[in-house]
Amino acid sequence: MTPSPRCEPTRSRTGEPVRHLRRSANSASVRARERSEHLRTAERFARRSRRAARPAAGGPVSFDVVVAADLDWGIGKDQSLPWPKLRGDLRHFKRITSTTETKGRRNAIVMGRKTWQSKEVGECPLPDRLNVVVSRSALAVPAGVVLAHSIDEALAAAAAHDVESIFIVGGAGLLVDALEHPELRYVYLTRIDGHYDCEIKMPDLDARGFVRVAWEGEQSGEEHGVRYRIERLRR
């Protein structure tokens, strides 16, 4: 006996019963909703983690120092570095001040007015980092550059921009304040093996009790007849 047409299950063009297709579609929809919910949960967790990593308003803000000095602790002469440009040291400076653990975030570099106006910087913001300039007097800076009047104001301003790490890079007056600051963590020091009759000098870190600590980035090099060593120090 031939079954009634209305008893025959409706089929798709591929021959598969439509009810099976609907079941598969429903399963795919459930999986899509589960994936979407998983992503939303991960995003909420990431946002909470980022908020937790931000310094508390008005709370202490830690920082590091990055500096190069000769054997007499000289750091500058005639508003510039007195030794030849050392590619290894320049790569180190860019890497240490630019690299972040979290994609999409950035670091801050803090410098004094004379460093900002030096031949190396030339009042041009260093890219991919928040530039903070410390000046006790009025100073015009480009859009995107932050002006502060003290080291603590600079640290607070950098923290307010949700940066990941903060690095103080000079000049001499700011380094004096930084080396005495309780929130200083490390000094990344490039020791230049030579005497360059510098007019600008920084404090003697060895005499102040700073010691070298193990660090995978430590390295030695020689360029243009100048030997140097990059170390990480702490009190």
Tokens of 136: 């006790």
Domain of residue 47, residue span: 9-53
For 210-228, write each residue's pLDDT tens digit.
999 999 999 999 999 999 9
Q: Are residues 70 and 109 in the same domain?
A: yes
Same domain, 103 and 154: yes
Is the domain of 80 the same as that of 182?
yes
Q: CA 206, CA 12: separation in Å to the nearest integer?
A: 83
63 belongs to a structural domain = yes
Helix-strand-coil percent breakdown of the chain, rounded to 5? Answer: 30, 25, 45
What pLDDT score was predicted for residue 99?
Answer: 96
Looking at residue 10, its pLDDT comes to 46
CATH number of residue 184's parent domain: 3.40.430.10
Residue 167 within a domain: yes
Distances 23 to 14, 20, 28, 51, 184 between C-alpha atoms, Å:
16, 5, 9, 42, 62
Interval 126-165: pLDDT, tens: 999 999 999 999 999 999 999 999 999 999 999 999 999 9
Pair 19, 100 in one domain: no
Q: Do 94 and 145 reside in the same domain of the chain?
A: yes
Inter-helix orientation angle 151-160/172-179, to 10°: 80
* Together in a domain, 104 and 198: yes
From the list 69, 87, 77, 76, the residue with the least C-alpha distance to 222 is 87
User: Residue 32: what pLDDT?
Assistant: 52
27 and 113 inside one domain = no
DSSP code of 10? P
Which residues neighbour 220 within 8 Å (Cβ) at sequence distance 6 or greater? 227, 228, 229, 230
Residue 145 included in any domain: yes
- The tokens describing 8, both together, are 């025959």
93 within a domain of the structure (yes/no)? yes
Position 42 confidence tier, pLDDT thresholds 50, 70, 90: very low
* Any domain includes 38: yes
**Block residue for tokens 């009025």:** 138
pLDDT reported for residue 23: 52
Examine the domain organization and report whether 199 and 159 are in the same domain. yes
Tell me, yes or no, whether 171 and 66 share the same domain. Answer: yes
Contact 156, 175 (CB under 8 A): no
In a domain, 3, yes or no: no
Does residue 2 lie within any of the structural domains? no
Domains of the chain: total: 2
Question: Does 193 share its domain with 222?
Answer: yes
Secondary structure letter of residue 80 according to DSSP: B
Q: Do 131 and 43 belong to one domain?
A: no
pLDDT band at 60 (very low <50, low <70, confident <90, very high): confident
Cα–Cα distance, 179 to 176 (Å, whole number): 5
pLDDT tens per residue across span 165-200: 999 999 999 999 999 999 999 999 999 999 999 999
In a domain, 230, yes or no: yes
pLDDT at 48: 35
Residue type, 139: L
Say if residue 76 is in the same domain as residue 153. yes
Phi, psi (deg, nearest 5) at residue 21: -65, -40
Q: Rounded CA gap, 121 and 81, in Å?
A: 11
